């Protein structure tokens, strides 16, 4: 009986990290209103943010934008997008950068800076925590935690 009680008491503690995870905002994949991208599937976003796809449908080079490594939305974005945490993505990009094969996404210092860059560059793709009030930006995809 004591073992069952301990297990039942430990269960809420074991689930505590997931409770916070579900309450966090869903990262939204954003582009400029003038972007040639009209819709995206998650697999396409993965391809852009891992460097596997480097061009937009019109043939122009895509410019993925990232937030700083310490930004909490970056961790959530990569977890939901790829299943990897930010440290694993940093390692991925370090290997590719060292080999000279590819460059990682351009790091913006803040979400506000990312919004400005997205508005100014129709080839850019980024992510934000909330729907932008700026009419010059469009949401293409919301990354959701599995139910």
DSSP-assigned letters across all residues of 63-113: EEEE--TT-HHHHHHHHHHHS--HHHHHHHHHHHHHHTS--PPEEPSSHHH
pLDDT of residue 35: 95
**Domain spanning 25-142: which superfamily?**
Periplasmic binding protein-like II (3.40.190.10)
Half-sphere exposure of residue 41: CA atoms within 13 angstroms, side-chain side? 2
Task: Break the chain into its structural domains and give their ranges.
Answer: 25-142
pLDDT of residue 97: 83
Q: Which residues of the chain have pLDDT under 50?
A: 3-22
Query: CA 12, 13, 14 angle in degrees (round to 5)?
Result: 90
The pLDDT tens digits for 45-71 are 999 999 999 999 999 999 999 999 899
Cα 71 to chain center, whole Å?
A: 11
pLDDT of residue 23: 63
pLDDT of residue 9: 42
- Is the entire prediction scored with pTM above 0.85? no
Q: What is the dihedral of CA 92, 95, 97, 100, to 10 degrees?
A: -140
């Amino acid at each position: 009986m004591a073992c069952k009680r301990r297990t039942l008491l430990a269960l809420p503690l074991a689930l505590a990290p997931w409770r916070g995870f579900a309450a966090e905002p869903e990262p939204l994949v954003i582009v400029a209103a003038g972007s040639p991208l009209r819709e995206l599937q998650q697999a396409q976003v993965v391809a852009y943010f891992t460097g596997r796809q480097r061009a937009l449908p019109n043939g122009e080079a895509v410019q993925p934008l990232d937030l700083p490594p310490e930004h909490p939305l970056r961790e959530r974005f990569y977890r939901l997008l790829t299943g990897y945490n930010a440290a694993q993505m940093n390692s991925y990009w370090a290997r590719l950068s060292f080999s000279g094969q590819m460059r990682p996404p351009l790091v913006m210092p803040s979400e506000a800076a990312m919004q400005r860059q997205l508005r100014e560059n129709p080839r850019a793709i980024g992510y934000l925590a909330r729907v932008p009030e700026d009419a010059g930006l469009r949401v293409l995809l919301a990354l959701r935690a599995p139910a």
